[in-house]
Structure 1
Amino acid sequence: MKIAFFLSNYPVLSETFVVRQIRGMIDLGHQVTIITGQHDLSVDDPLSGAARIVSVRANTGGSSPIAQLLKKSVRLLLGAQSGKSRRRIRAGLTGLRDGIVAPIVDILSVGEQGLGHFDAIIAHFGPAGVRAMYLRDAGLISGPIATVFHGLDVTEHGLVKKFLPHYRRLFTQTEALLPISELWKKKLISWGADPAMITVHRMGVDVSDFPMPQPRRGAAGPLRLLTTARFVQKKGLIYAINAMCAAPGDSHLSIIGYGPLEKELREAAAACPARVTFLGKIPHREVLAELKRSDVFLLPSVVADNGDMEGIPVSLMEAMALGVITVSTWHSGIPELIDDGVEGFLVEERNAGQIADIITTIESGEVDLASMRVAARAKIEREFDNRELDTRLEQIAFTLAGIVPAAEPARVAEAVS
């Protein structure tokens, strides 16, 4: 199949889950194109050229982007007698009427040849789905559109206010919605989406890359906790630090990451400097090495003041796959990943005291941590393994394209026998 992934920007280093999904479709033998609003040429392609990259807003060759768009607008109006031009103008006017700028600029930026036809177009994040929809309205791309909703795109107040009217158009004019959690499915339905067009499709991890050590291993010395996250409000890192300072004993927290709240977090950690270490920004392979050395992975996510929420953090999945005990919050889709007391621990948002209590409970040996590690690993294998998720996404793409896939030889042999 010819599959397009429609992204607002590519590559975005923090969106490793998107790159991994694209890689999955490539590995299954599909012809993959990445259509991106803007292609960041200063960042190496994480797929090393395995997918064709097409930029909606191509480099203007030194000319002013506004001047280029004005010239294209004039040419479009002068050629309005053609059906193609009229279709572009109608789509652009619809966007103008609906008060959205990005799709109009997209329509004016794409060349006469358009972006092509695809058996399935998978847009990551709601605004990207909206842009793909307008480009299809303009006749500049063709194929069924499925939009993946992650978190920020359905929670951040300003973004939702801006895009909700366009999401509602998306619900009626495109083919599928792929929220990553049951919670986001309910949100889309509450906004008017038809449940029949919604399929919850998880993000996941490559389970085979995460061999789990013996589940009955014990901690050698003080309890070692790890957090890896951007230093932004929704990650709740201030509550992790406050909990460390409040917890009895000599457990230690290492924090990997960076971001705008670093000064505030370091000031909080100054209250117990021997118990919190900042490791900065390090490569993912080193993150995994730190994770393997840790006893507990702590991610106390919260709803940010602007409404921003998590989806289901991949970092928690990685910890669970490795058999590291997870401590997180009753937040967003996290309870769909962690059953409290079975596959990890959940506490209330913004409650450092509860986090400190859980740390004490883990240290005391009151909980069967071996059983928890096994249950966590099993949950990831069952519901969040990328290999299985790739197969499910492939089937979604086949359905969108109206293609009945050829039976695999092994399955044919099994059926015959």
Structure 2
Amino acid sequence: MNLPKLAYLTGEYPRASDTFIQREVAALRALGHEVLTCSIRTTGPEHLVGPEQRAEHARTFKVLDAVKSPLRLMRAHLRCMKRPARYGAALKLAWQTAPKGLRGRLYNLIYFAEAGVLAAHLADEGVRHLHNHIAKASCTVAMLASALSGIPYSFTIHGPDIFFEPHHWRIDEKAARASFVACISDFCRSQLMCFAAASHWERFHIIHCGIDPARYAPPDHAAKRLLFVGRLAGVKGVPILLDAVDALRGRHPDLRLTLIGDGPDRAALESRAAGSGDHVRFLGYRSQDEVAEALRDTDVFVLPSFAEGVPVVLMEAMAAGLPVVTTRIAGVPELVHHGETGLLVAPGDAAALTGALDRLLSDPAERAAMGAAGRAIVAADFDIRKEAARLSRLFTTYGNGGPRPPKREEQA
């Protein structure tokens, strides 16, 4: 089969918090696709936490770096202007889809400038399809680059924040113009359907983010160690978790909580946890291998978020044979089955979170049973190789004009 050469675009690539994109790219390359990675901005050094990130960073085309060259910017747009009708239509699209106000118009003109440079680069590289992750500003650039170049594009939509401002980001227009949209869950797909015309719904497919289950080994001990992995920001609900740990310390004096990740709230959270002594420790960002090692040294994984898509870190924890305690929101119940692979609680409910953690910390046998069930679910439905194969077939089928695939292929 002649596999199309792909380009992947996102706002920053690679990032320590978006390792699922790296896994998807690697899996597509393993299937035989040539994948050119592109990033709007240059990733900060704090995200280059392992050899995989550093290697991907070195080979990634940085759009803004190229735009900063006036000569390159001018040449790219003069090249696009050789098709004046297409160029004019793309410029009109940038103007019509801009957020309201002078600032919104200005930003979309900047995105249009970036799109011209990206379009020229894709043409030079012989790219046949452009795919975007995180359907916000970078997806606007992808849509405009497609309009300028004629190269078809698609995108993966995650949520939840994109659905907070769907009109600002014009996900209706992006979905209408895309060859197809990969939705990470049925819940995510339903949210997109709220804003997109019904005539486009059949092009919205379910492609899970995925992991390599073989990378994660079940724990070989029974203790009382909790692990949180995520961005240290308000949406993750970490203060609720710290309250729960404080409430549990009397009943479980050997309880330990480790937090991996960084973010704007780290200093405040560290100050908040200072009274917990060595019961709580913050490690900052860690590489994929270091996260896998931390999971092997954990007994219960906890993620008390207020808003999520389908967290990849929950997949990693379940693949490591851990029971998970998390919140009953968005697409999470499509991954975590309450009472079978973990426990779901109401978001923001410290008492419910405390009770769920107490239940699992007090019952090693239930932890082991839930961990085994979770590992089986991830292997069946969230294996990155299977998901990449599904995505590859979408690229090929839509590129060749074949019969439209179902919402989600049962076999991959």
Same-fold call, TM > 0.5?
yes
Aligned mate of 2:8, from 2, 5, 8:
5
Instruction: State the one-letter code of the partner of 2:158.
Output: H
- What residue in structure 2 maps to residue 314 of structure 1? 312
1:136 aligns with 2:120: no
1:180 CA displacement: 0.7
SS in 1 for 2:386: helix
Question: Which has the larger helix fraction?
Answer: 2
**Correspondence list, 1:72-151, <5 A:** 84-99=83-98, 100-102=105-107, 104-109=109-114, 110=116, 113=120, 115-116=122-123, 118-127=127-136, 128-138=138-148, 140=149, 142-151=150-159
Which structure has the larger Rg?
1
Q: Distance in 2 between matches of 1:185 and 1:314?
A: 17
| Residue segments in structure 1 that go unaligned for 5+ positions in a row | 303-308, 405-417
Q: Quickly say closer, same or farther: Cα 1:137–1:59, change in 2 above 3 A.
A: closer
State TM-score, norm by structure 1. Answer: 0.81
Q: Quickly say closer, same or farther: Cα 1:365–1:115, change in 2 above 3 A.
A: closer
Q: Quickly say closer, same or farther: Cα 1:119–1:256, change in 2 above 3 A.
A: same
Q: Quickly say closer, same or farther: Cα 1:41–1:232, change in 2 above 3 A.
A: closer
Q: Quickly say closer, same or farther: Cα 1:135–1:279, change in 2 above 3 A.
A: closer
Instruction: State the one-letter code of the partner of 1:345.
Output: L
Q: Quickly say closer, same or farther: Cα 1:122–1:98, change in 2 above 3 A.
A: closer
Aligned residues of 1:245 and 1:271 also touching (Cα < 8 A) = no
Q: Quickly say closer, same or farther: Cα 1:113–1:257, change in 2 above 3 A.
A: closer
- What residue in structure 1 maps to residue 388 of structure 2? 390
SS in 2 for 1:341: coil
1:135 CA displacement: 1.7
Aligned mate of 1:28, from 27, 31, 42:
31
Aligned mate of 2:323, from 309, 322, 325:
325
Aligned residues of 1:225 and 1:295 also touching (Cα < 8 A) = yes
**Correspondence list, 1:267-306, <5 A:** 267-302=271-306
- What residue in structure 1 maps to residue 242 of structure 2? 241
Q: Quickly say closer, same or farther: Cα 1:351–1:59, change in 2 above 3 A.
A: same
Q: Quickly say closer, same or farther: Cα 1:113–1:131, change in 2 above 3 A.
A: closer
Q: Quickly say closer, same or farther: Cα 1:55–1:256, change in 2 above 3 A.
A: closer
1:241-281 deviations in Å (ceiling 9; x for gaps) = 10010122222212222222123222332343342222333
1:59 CA displacement: 3.3
Q: Distance in 2 between matches of 1:52 and 1:249?
A: 48
Moved more, 237-246 or 85-94: 85-94
Moved more, 30-39 or 49-58: 49-58
1:156-182 deviations in Å (ceiling 9; x for gaps) = x3x43421xx32122222210111111
Instruction: State the one-letter code of the partner of 1:24.
Output: A
Q: Distance in 1 between matches of 2:42 and 2:268?
A: 33
Q: Distance in 1 between matches of 2:278 and 2:22?
A: 38
Calculate the aligned-residue CA RMSD, in Å. 3.0
Aligned mate of 1:16, from 2, 15, 19:
19
Aligned residues of 2:112 and 2:141 also touching (Cα < 8 A) = no
SS in 2 for 1:211: coil
Q: Quickly say closer, same or farther: Cα 1:181–1:171, change in 2 above 3 A.
A: same
**Correspondence list, 1:31-46, <5 A:** 31-40=34-43, 46=53
- What residue in structure 1 maps to residue 405 of structure 2? none
1:25 CA displacement: 1.1
Q: Distance in 1 between matches of 2:191 and 2:7?
A: 26
Instruction: State the one-letter code of the partner of 1:160.
Output: P
1:154 aligns with 2:162: yes
1:297-353 deviations in Å (ceiling 9; x for gaps) = 111111xxxxxx321111111111111121111122111110111011111111111
1:207 aligns with 2:243: no
Instruction: State the one-letter code of the partner of 1:154.
Output: I
1:124-155 deviations in Å (ceiling 9; x for gaps) = 121233322222222x2x33322101125523
Q: Distance in 1 between matches of 2:275 and 2:84?
A: 65
SS in 2 for 1:331: coil
Aligned residues of 2:6 and 2:129 also touching (Cα < 8 A) = yes
**Correspondence list, 1:371-382, <5 A:** 371-382=369-380
Aligned residues of 2:176 and 2:196 also touching (Cα < 8 A) = no
Aligned residues of 1:361 and 1:367 also touching (Cα < 8 A) = no
1:23 CA displacement: 0.9
Q: Quickly say closer, same or farther: Cα 1:345–1:269, change in 2 above 3 A.
A: same
SS in 2 for 1:35: strand
1:30-79 deviations in Å (ceiling 9; x for gaps) = 12112333445968673736996444444367x6x6x986x679x85xx9
- What residue in structure 2 maps to residue 409 of structure 1? none
Moved more, 253-262 or 23-32: 253-262
- What residue in structure 2 maps to residue 361 of structure 1? 359
The percentage of aligned residue pairs carrying the same residue is: 27
Instruction: State the one-letter code of the partner of 1:143.
Output: I
Moved more, 240-249 or 113-122: 113-122
SS in 2 for 1:297: strand
Q: Quickly say closer, same or farther: Cα 1:254–1:56, change in 2 above 3 A.
A: closer
